[in-house]
Protein backbone atom coordinates (compact mmCIF):
# COMPACT_ATOMS: atom_id res chain seq x y z
CA UNK A 1 0.00 0.00 0.00
CA UNK A 2 1.11 3.49 -0.77
CA UNK A 3 -0.09 6.12 1.66
CA UNK A 4 0.33 9.85 1.37
CA UNK A 5 3.36 9.95 3.69
CA UNK A 6 5.31 7.44 1.62
CA UNK A 7 4.42 9.20 -1.61
CA UNK A 8 5.60 12.52 -0.16
CA UNK A 9 8.87 10.99 1.12
CA UNK A 10 9.70 9.53 -2.33
CA UNK A 11 8.56 12.73 -4.00
CA UNK A 12 10.94 14.84 -1.88
CA UNK A 13 13.82 12.36 -2.21
CA UNK A 14 13.60 12.79 -6.00
CA UNK A 15 13.68 16.57 -5.48
CA UNK A 16 10.31 17.06 -7.09
CA UNK A 17 9.12 19.34 -4.30
CA UNK A 18 10.82 22.46 -5.67
CA UNK A 19 8.59 25.48 -6.08
CA UNK A 20 7.76 26.72 -9.53
CA UNK A 21 9.18 30.20 -9.73
CA UNK A 22 6.73 32.57 -11.30
CA UNK A 23 7.79 35.40 -13.50
CA UNK A 24 7.46 38.82 -11.93
CA UNK A 25 4.89 40.77 -13.80
CA UNK A 26 5.86 44.32 -14.50
CA UNK A 27 3.15 46.92 -14.84
CA UNK A 28 2.29 47.69 -18.43
CA UNK A 29 4.03 50.83 -19.63
CA UNK A 30 2.22 53.39 -21.67
CA UNK A 31 4.08 53.38 -24.94
CA UNK A 32 4.26 56.78 -26.56
CA UNK A 33 4.99 56.83 -30.26
CA UNK A 34 8.40 58.16 -31.29
CA UNK A 35 7.77 61.48 -32.89
CA UNK A 36 10.12 62.84 -35.51
CA UNK A 37 11.24 66.34 -34.47
CA UNK A 38 10.48 69.17 -36.90
CA UNK A 39 13.81 70.93 -36.42
CA UNK A 40 17.28 70.59 -34.97
CA UNK A 41 17.95 70.88 -31.23
CA UNK A 42 14.48 69.68 -30.21
CA UNK A 43 15.26 66.11 -29.10
CA UNK A 44 18.61 64.54 -28.26
CA UNK A 45 19.18 60.83 -27.69
CA UNK A 46 21.71 59.52 -25.14
CA UNK A 47 23.09 56.01 -25.12
CA UNK A 48 26.01 54.14 -23.61
CA UNK A 49 27.89 51.53 -25.60
CA UNK A 50 30.83 49.35 -24.63
CA UNK A 51 33.49 47.33 -26.36
CA UNK A 52 36.63 45.43 -25.47
CA UNK A 53 40.09 46.13 -26.86
CA UNK A 54 42.40 43.35 -28.06
CA UNK A 55 44.29 43.71 -24.78
CA UNK A 56 41.15 42.79 -22.86
CA UNK A 57 40.54 46.30 -21.53
CA UNK A 58 36.92 47.43 -21.66
CA UNK A 59 35.96 50.86 -22.99
CA UNK A 60 32.67 52.73 -22.84
CA UNK A 61 31.27 55.43 -25.08
CA UNK A 62 28.62 58.05 -24.39
CA UNK A 63 26.83 58.89 -27.63
CA UNK A 64 24.66 62.00 -27.90
CA UNK A 65 22.71 62.33 -31.16
CA UNK A 66 20.33 64.98 -32.50
CA UNK A 67 17.20 63.12 -33.61
CA UNK A 68 16.22 65.56 -36.36
CA UNK A 69 19.17 65.04 -38.68
CA UNK A 70 20.88 62.09 -36.90
CA UNK A 71 23.93 64.25 -36.26
CA UNK A 72 26.36 62.86 -33.69
CA UNK A 73 26.80 65.79 -31.34
CA UNK A 74 29.25 64.08 -29.01
CA UNK A 75 30.97 60.72 -28.66
CA UNK A 76 32.91 60.48 -25.42
CA UNK A 77 35.22 57.48 -25.03
CA UNK A 78 36.78 56.39 -21.72
CA UNK A 79 37.25 53.34 -19.53
CA UNK A 80 34.57 54.61 -17.14
CA UNK A 81 32.02 57.37 -17.46
CA UNK A 82 30.73 58.47 -14.03
CA UNK A 83 27.70 60.73 -13.65
CA UNK A 84 29.84 63.84 -13.11
CA UNK A 85 31.53 63.26 -16.48
CA UNK A 86 28.16 62.83 -18.22
CA UNK A 87 26.90 66.08 -16.68
CA UNK A 88 30.09 67.88 -17.76
CA UNK A 89 29.68 66.63 -21.35
CA UNK A 90 26.03 67.71 -21.44
CA UNK A 91 26.91 71.17 -20.07
CA UNK A 92 29.60 71.59 -22.77
CA UNK A 93 27.08 70.58 -25.41
CA UNK A 94 24.39 72.95 -24.10
CA UNK A 95 26.93 75.79 -24.12
CA UNK A 96 27.82 75.01 -27.74
CA UNK A 97 24.41 74.09 -29.23
CA UNK A 98 21.83 75.42 -26.78
CA UNK A 99 19.43 73.50 -24.59
CA UNK A 100 17.17 70.88 -26.25
CA UNK A 101 13.47 70.60 -25.45
CA UNK A 102 13.82 66.96 -24.43
CA UNK A 103 16.42 64.22 -23.96
CA UNK A 104 15.59 60.61 -24.76
CA UNK A 105 17.37 57.60 -23.28
CA UNK A 106 16.77 53.86 -23.22
CA UNK A 107 16.46 53.66 -19.41
CA UNK A 108 18.94 50.82 -19.28
CA UNK A 109 21.20 49.80 -16.42
CA UNK A 110 23.66 52.54 -17.32
CA UNK A 111 21.28 55.24 -16.22
- Return the CATH number at 68: 3.30.420.10
| Residue 88 maps to a domain | yes
| Residue 13 maps to a domain | no
Q: Which helix (H) or strand (E) holds 7?
A: helix 4-13
- DSSP secondary structure code for residue 30 in this structure: -
- pTM for the predicted model, two decimal places: 0.67
| Residue 9 maps to a domain | no
The residue segments making up the domain with residue 68 are: 37-111
Structural domain count, the chain: 1
| Residue 11 maps to a domain | no
* Chain segment 24-66, per-residue pLDDT in tens: 888 887 887 878 889 999 999 999 999 999 999 999 999 999 9
Residue 73 pLDDT > 90? yes
Comparing CA positions, the residue from 85, 39, 26 lying closest to residue 61 is 85
CB neighbours (10 Å) of residue 53? 9
* Portion of the chain with pLDDT greater than 90, in percent: 57
**Interval 61-89 mean pLDDT:** 93
How far does Cα 17 stand from its chain's mean position?
Answer: 37
| Residue 31 maps to a domain | no
Q: Which helix (H) or strand (E) holds 93?
A: helix 83-97
Amino acid sequence: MWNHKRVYRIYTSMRLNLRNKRKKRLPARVKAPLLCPIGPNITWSLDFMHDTLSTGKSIRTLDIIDDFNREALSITVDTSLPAARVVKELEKLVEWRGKPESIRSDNGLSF
